[in-house]
Amino acid sequence: MRQITLKDIASKLNISVTAVSKALKGYSDVSKSTRDSVIAMAEELHYTPNSVAVNLRTQQTKTIGIIIPSIVHQFFSKVLSGIIEEAEKKGYLVFTLQSNESIALEKKQIDLLLNKRVDGILMSLATENNDISHLQKVIDNKTPLVLFDKISKIINCSKVVIDDRESAYNAVTHLIKSGCKKISHFRGPLNPQNSIDRYLGYRKALEDNQIKYDPSLVYTCEAVTFEEGYEFAKKLYGQHKDIDGIFAVADLVAVGAIAYFNEIGVKIPNQISIIGFSNWFIGSVISPSLSTVDQPGYKMGKKALKLLFKEMNPKKKGEEFIPKTIVLPTEIIKRNSTLN
């Protein structure tokens, strides 16, 4: 069926196309009766604006691109909820893409979004990301870019993050204050900045509490999974029966460790305390329930999109925007896997 145009509405009402256009946009120099007639006729004819024409006129597509490592990850699902809620308020459509932690796929997705002429891009970087050339391409294209959670410190763009180092420091300090003296860290992959910062926070907490750092107590996840947490707990306990604390890079890893110790009858938290990171739902329902760092995913999504809109507005006016970094606070959620 042929798409209805402004000309069709004008012909039906015997008025000019300009009058129809102004009426639909709510111009004050169009009478209320004319405006009401135009709106009624537009509804009767099922008129919808020509998005291509609107985009050409406004130089906007009313679309936002999002690239995240994993859609099924609970943290990222919370981020997406925050982003989509804010986007809908502004009438924006959201393209959501999953990189599967692949830099090659991430680069293709950047090209796709740039070809689609999205008005802005939100990204959490793939773990294996050690190349920022595709991010620089976005900057050079003058497309607003906001990174969140997993970021690169060397790209000059806006970012929304937590203080991973401080948050990890607080988590390990909680273990120490509850009586732990020999604390293991199941860390994330070597490359992402948040994994690095959580590891550094762990080391700093030990140092500030006069606990000697022992590299044999640090295990490195490749995929940050339940299975890794289970296997690391098994190896750790086989080599260090006197271990009394574990700080895991993510809740899923911590839950794997809890599963192993439950299986062999080690009492949590009386014999060993465990704390995770992110505050996934699974941590609240496992037994014993998992103490964790609450990472505000939903709030991060809302803040990231609001920051992107702030950058998009000056762009429309040809004004320069100075990139900003927003650091969101975290808190320790104390449950039954730690004392106190």
In this predicted structure, what is the pLDDT of residue 72?
76
Clarify whether residues 28 and 148 are in a common domain.
no
Mean pLDDT on 302-308? 96
pLDDT over 80 (residue 58): no
Clarify whether residues 84 and 125 are in a common domain.
yes
Clarify whether residues 89 and 28 are in a common domain.
no
Residue 231, domain CATH:
3.40.50.2300
**Is 336 a domain residue?**
no
DSSP codes joined into one string, 7-50: HHHHHHHTS-HHHHHHHHHT-TTS-HHHHHHHHHHHHHTT----
Mean pLDDT on 333-338? 98
Clarify whether residues 202 and 288 are in a common domain.
yes
DSSP secondary structure letter of residue 260:
H
Please give the tally of structural domains in the chain. Answer: 3
Residue 12, domain CATH:
1.10.260.40
Clarify whether residues 152 and 189 are in a common domain.
no
For 229-277, write each residue's pLDDT tens digit: 999 999 999 999 999 999 999 999 999 999 999 999 999 999 999 999 9
Residue 290 confidence class, pLDDT cut points 50, 70, 90: very high
Share above pLDDT 90 across residues of the chain, in percent, rounded to a whole number: 71
Residue 135, both tokens: 């991010």
Clarify whether residues 178 and 280 are in a common domain.
yes
Residue 52 confidence class, pLDDT cut points 50, 70, 90: very low
Domain that holds residue 191: 164-295
> Can you tell me which residue has the tokens 């924006």?
92
Q: For the CA atoms of 167, 173, 177, 182, what is the dihedral angle to 10 degrees?
A: 130
**Is 338 a domain residue?**
no
Clarify whether residues 89 and 146 are in a common domain.
yes
In this predicted structure, what is the pLDDT of residue 50?
61
Question: Strand 183-187 and strand 273-278: pairing?
Answer: unpaired
In this predicted structure, what is the pLDDT of residue 256?
98
pLDDT over 80 (residue 40): yes
Clarify whether residues 126 and 194 are in a common domain.
no
In this predicted structure, what is the pLDDT of residue 239?
96
Clarify whether residues 100 and 247 are in a common domain.
no
In this predicted structure, what is the pLDDT of residue 121?
97
Cβ atoms 184, 235 nearer than 8 A: no
Clarify whether residues 185 and 252 are in a common domain.
yes
124 or 53, higher pLDDT = 124
Mean pLDDT on 45-69? 72
**Is 1 a domain residue?**
no
**Is 339 a domain residue?**
no
In this predicted structure, what is the pLDDT of residue 3?
73
**Is 197 a domain residue?**
yes
**Is 54 a domain residue?**
no
Mean pLDDT on 288-303? 97
Clarify whether residues 151 and 63 are in a common domain.
yes
143 or 1, higher pLDDT = 143
Asked whether the whole model's pTM tops 0.85, one would answer: no
Q: Which residues of 7-17 are buried (b: 16+ CB within 10 A; e: fewer)?
A: ebbbebbebee
**Is 107 a domain residue?**
yes
Helical residues (DSSP H) of the chain, grouped into ranges: 6-13, 17-25, 32-44, 51-58, 74-89, 103-115, 133-140, 164-177, 193-208, 226-239, 251-264, 281-285, 297-316
Residue 56 confidence class, pLDDT cut points 50, 70, 90: very low
Is the alpha carbon torsion for 288, 292, 241, 256 positive or negative? positive
In this predicted structure, what is the pLDDT of residue 340?
79
pLDDT over 60 (residue 54): no
Clarify whether residues 305 and 290 are in a common domain.
no
**What mean pLDDT, rounded, does the chain reach?**
91
For 133-192, write each residue's pLDDT tens digit: 999 999 999 999 999 999 998 899 999 999 999 999 999 999 999 999 999 999 999 888
**Is 291 a domain residue?**
yes
